[in-house]
Chains A and B, each alone.
Chain A
Amino acid sequence: MEELGLKDALSTITSGAIVEAIVVVVLASLLIIAVQKLLPMLAHKLTGKPRLYLLAMVPLLRLVIIVLTIVMVVPILVEPSFENMLAIFGALGLALGFAFKDYANSLIAGIVTLYEMPYRPGDWIEINGQYGEVRAIGTRAAEIVTLDDTVVVIPHGLLWNNLLANGNDGSDNLMCVAELYLEPNHDVVRMRELFRDVIYTCPLTKTYQPVVVAVLATDMGMKYRLKAYPLTPGDQTRFIADLTARAADVCAAEDVKMISRPLLWQ
């Protein structure tokens, strides 16, 4: 450490400077807490794009506050000369490199996340088999809430070597799919038309977005996929359930039997 000049750099720190730095850090922390509490609270009162924009501002504001705090605190503690900066960041690099490799990995990934925005608060993502809505993006990790209301913490470091699926990618358009397996040997054209009516007559459907009824002959029967967009991404469970119930009604009315997979696997 001495070779790095860290001792010289830190020798100028006085108790007064430490107190001043602590005050700045505490104020910045309070500001970050306020931003993290207030903005999501306000965002949940809004709908549509304003909600997404407000949520996306949270991590961005926090980053700005952290950077400003560092910019303010470092000159308070040490004289901002080239030698001193080199010494401090050199020592920091060593410490991060050995002791906090994974932590630093996620921190850097967190900064990349804010720049590249592979996911934002309000997005519905799937990563490592976990699917849910991004509620918060922290410095090291993101929090998603699954459809079963479970919070899953995902380190940003997973970004580097994992596939990430983003359902709505910053918009409020999220395609949902209701899947049905029907017994073969029925009028496929008519069923497709009826399923299309099912989607259009569901009150939760965004009718100005594409509506698709796909059908595939599989060895488990005729597989129908009713694809459409719900009014809001948060409606997806209700929307898929509604489409499935309405489609089941159609099958019953047309006397076309539905097949459940477990029965086929027996």
Chain B
Amino acid sequence: MATEKDTEQSCLPGGLIPLDQWSAPDVSVHKTLRAGVKDILEQLRSGLTPESEAFESLDDLPSLSEKKLKRYAPEPDASALASAILVQLEALRQQGVHNRRVSFIVAPPFSGVTDALLTLPARVIEPPDNLLMTEQDADRWWDDQLGDGDWVVPELANFWLRHRSGLNLLKSFFARVALDSAGRGIVACSSWCWQFWIRYWPEIHVSPLTLAPLDSERLTGWLDFLAHGGNGRSLTARMTNDGLFVLPPQTDASNAKYSCFTQDLANAARGNRGVAHAIWQRALRAKPEEDAEQDEGAASAGKTAECWVVPFDQLSLPGVPQGSGQQAGIVLHAIMLHSQLTIDSLERVTGIANRELKLLLSRFLRADLIVQDETTQAYRPTSLGYPSVRKYLQARGFSVDGF
């Protein structure tokens, strides 16, 4: 049984690190070249062949049921991550690495930090309805929000608009945080938002921290930790093509041959836990030869659960429709900068007419690149579509995040 300390480490593999120490998981030259050629071929193929479905798998194995998927690859526990972040911050304070009153965590989308901060017993500061404020109004608003008591800002990207009048709220906030006059709190900031602001205001000095990237080893450990789900039952996952092992993690005593799937997964997700988790869920397959009831019975009897993993080259992730034009890039970039945007806000920051926006957004929805929040009606990116959106924007000269 894992100890409490072990559990905390498994929940946040690698811990929190200074932002400038982050580096993408290693990727071979062969894989980089292959990805580059594949990207060029996809661009050339556009218009010649019909676009494929957003997601397809070429294997014949049955998908896992919802119940099994939740058991083998459950959503990470936000409160556990929040506790781990607090422990890490305290440890960094004791080491003298982090001595700011406001802790600034810059993380890529789907890192889970936003959800984690929402579980903390601290006052949550929500963005105002109107983000287009004058400098004086912005100062007054923060005066009202900050103050005594601990507070958290779950996502700073929601506090601004890329508009002439939409910058004042964050200008005021960054000035306060840099001067340590904003009280005591924790801020989560999307890496895309941060990338914009560090260029806009290079003098920002808030000592940002970030989550350590999940390399192959950390990712394997984390997926194994998730599969345990607190009940101690382990998961054995093997590749569908060659039977090589993916889980449980390799030990010195083990003679089993292991697949490089988690290395590919870490590279594809660029160490991003949310993206890696989403692809992992998609890659898991059931055992066709076993009767469902029999399998359930075996699992409840304490046996190790088993499932199959589809190789990477048999999975296709959602891709940005080729030949979408530059407006597509502008819309996707705006959504990434602000984490989520309603169509009215999109119209304001992109200058694209409402009718054209609707056409573009419907296309992205069909391609599984974005989803619309039912309550706020805001559009936000999907974890499976995120890698291709990032690659698409980078190839077209847009400023992308460093993660």
Contact = CB atoms under 8 A, between A and B. Distances in A.
A242 B351 CA distance: 10
Given A45-B44, A231-B398, A232-B397, A207 B164 contact: no
Give the one of B162, B164, B395 with max A CB within 10 A. B164
Interface stretch (A46-54, A59-67, A94-102, A155-163): A46-54
A206 B350 contact: no
A50 B397 CA distance: 13
A203 interface: yes
Given A200-B200, A203-B330, A203-B351, A46 B44 contact: yes
A49 to B, nearest CB: 9
B396 A208 contact: no
Contacts of A242: 351
Interface in B30-72: 40, 43-44, 46-47
Residue in B44, B167, B330 with the greatest tally of chain A CB atoms within 10 Å: B44
A42 B44 contact: yes
A250 interface: yes
B164 A246 contact: yes
Contacts of A194: 164
B200 A231 contact: no
B196 interface: yes
Given A42-B44, A45-B43, A45-B44, A206 B164 contact: no
Interface in A125-166: none
A114 B199 CA distance: 37
A180 to B, nearest CB: 15
B200 A207 contact: yes
Q: SS class of chain B's interface: helix, strand, loop or mixed?
A: helix
Interface string A184-205: 0000000000100110110110
Given A200-B200, A207-B199, A172 B397 contact: yes
A203 B40 CA distance: 25
A90 B345 CA distance: 73
B238 interface: no
Nearest to A233: B397
Contact of B349 (A42, A46, A47, A203): A203
B164 A231 contact: no
Contacts of A207: 196, 199-200, 399
A45 B46 contact: yes
Contacts of B46: 45
B350 A203 contact: yes
A171 B68 CA distance: 51
B164 A235 contact: no
User: Max chain B CB contacts within 10 Å: which of A201, A208, A246?
Assistant: A201
A6 to B, nearest CB: 49
Nearest to A229: B397
Interface string A221-249: 00000000001100100000010001001
B199 A208 contact: yes
| Listed residue (B163, B195, B350, B398) with the most chain A CB atoms within 10 angstroms of its CB | B398
Q: Which of A172, A231, A246, A249 has the largest count of B CB atoms less than 10 A from its CB?
A: A231
Interface in B288-331: 326, 329-330
Interface in B348-386: 349-351
A48 B164 CA distance: 29
A50 B199 CA distance: 26
A172 B397 CA distance: 8
Nearest to A199: B200
The interface centre, meaning the residue of A46, A203, A208, A250 with most chain B CB atoms within 10 A of its CB, is A203
B334 interface: yes
A231 B333 CA distance: 12
Nearest to B393: A231
A212 to B, nearest CB: 13
A46 B43 contact: yes
A201 B164 contact: yes
A46 B350 CA distance: 24
Given A201-B163, A207-B200, A47 B396 contact: yes
B395 A231 contact: no
A93 B76 CA distance: 78
Contacts of A249: 164
A48 B47 CA distance: 19
Nearest to B166: A201
A246 B43 CA distance: 33
A200 B46 CA distance: 32
Contacts of A42: 44
Given A45-B43, A207-B196, A208-B199, A235 B326 contact: yes
A198 B40 CA distance: 34
A112 B195 CA distance: 42
A250 B163 CA distance: 12
Contacts of B351: 203, 242
Contacts of A46: 40, 43-44
27 contacts: A45-B43, A46-B40, A46-B43, A47-B43, A47-B395, A47-B396, A47-B397, A48-B395, A48-B396, A194-B164, A197-B167, A200-B196, A200-B200, A201-B162, A201-B163, A201-B164, A201-B166, A203-B334, A203-B350, A206-B397, A207-B200, A208-B399, A231-B397, A231-B398, A232-B326, A242-B351, A250-B164
Interface of A: 42, 45-48, 50, 172, 194, 197-198, 200-201, 203-204, 206-208, 231-232, 235, 242, 246, 249-250
Given A50-B43, A206-B398, 12 more contacts: A46-B44, A172-B397, A197-B164, A198-B164, A201-B164, A201-B166, A203-B162, A203-B333, A203-B349, A231-B329, A235-B326, A246-B164
